[in-house]
């Protein structure tokens, strides 16, 4: 039956997945007009497939965007970010303003900015939820581990495969 499905799929420019589904789920109930029914259902299947591909691309773009936003939030909320002061005050933007005590001016400006950041921005950042991004990234990590499993299964003893499968599952569960 596999060859028949492949042949019908190829002749009618349909996916093997669709033809297999049709044969398993719908052919018996379609009677003598099964080919017409299959052609009609194929149009709906294609539309669904196109929409799913579009949604998948949107999800990838959204996840990438969320990763970038999360990196920004992480860098802002990193308490180890300390300014580096220079006696000349270079890079503070004060040279054009005639401020002579540049070190103090830079320190004052930095302290004011940090007070506002840590008083207003960071508390709001704690409320942000990136669970969808975290789950997506965990899936990517697990996919990478599964690729490693395939490689190891072909080259090294099979015990490593079990360990890596368990690790991939832990990565996926860690995102929940």
Local confidence band at 157 (pLDDT 50, 70, 90 cut-offs): low
Convert the pLDDT of each residue in 19-77 to its tens digit: 887 788 777 677 777 777 777 777 777 877 888 888 888 888 888 888 888 877 777 66
The DSSP element (H or E) to which 75 belongs, if any, is: helix 34-77
Task: Say how far apart CA 136 and CA 142 lie, in whole Å.
Answer: 10
DSSP 146-162: HHHHHHHHHHS-THHHH
Return d(Cα 152, Cα 169) in angstroms, integer: 17
Query: The tokens of 33 are what?
Result: 């007009």
pTM of the model: 0.38
pLDDT tens, 83-128? 555 555 444 555 555 555 656 667 767 777 778 777 777 767 667 7
Helix/strand/coil percent split, the chain, to 5: 80, 0, 20
CB 122 within 8 A of CB 114: no
- Cα–Cα distance, 4 to 27 (Å, whole number): 13
Dump strand ranges (E) for 39-131: none
d(CA 41, CA 20): 13
């Amino acid at each position: 039956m596999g060859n028949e499905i492949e042949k019908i799929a190829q002749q009618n420019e349909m996916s093997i997945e669709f033809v297999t589904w049709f044969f398993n789920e719908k052919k018996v109930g379609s009677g003598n007009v099964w080919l017409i029914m299959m052609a009609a259902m194929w149009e709906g299947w294609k539309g669904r497939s196109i929409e799913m591909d579009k949604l998948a691309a949107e999800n990838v773009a959204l996840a990438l965007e969320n990763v970038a936003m999360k990196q920004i939030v992480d860098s802002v909320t990193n308490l180890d970010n300390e300014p580096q002061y220079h006696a000349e005050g270079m890079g503070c933007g004060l040279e054009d303003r005639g401020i002579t005590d540049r070190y103090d001016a830079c320190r004052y400006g930095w302290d004011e900015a940090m007070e506002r950041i840590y008083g207003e921005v960071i508390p709001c950042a704690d409320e942000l939820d990136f669970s969808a991004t975290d789950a997506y990234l965990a899936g990517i990590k697990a996919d990478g581990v599964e690729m490693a499993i395939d490689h190891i299964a072909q080259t090294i003893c099979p015990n490593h495969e079990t360990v890596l499968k368990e690790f991939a599952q832990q990565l996926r569960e860690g995102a929940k």
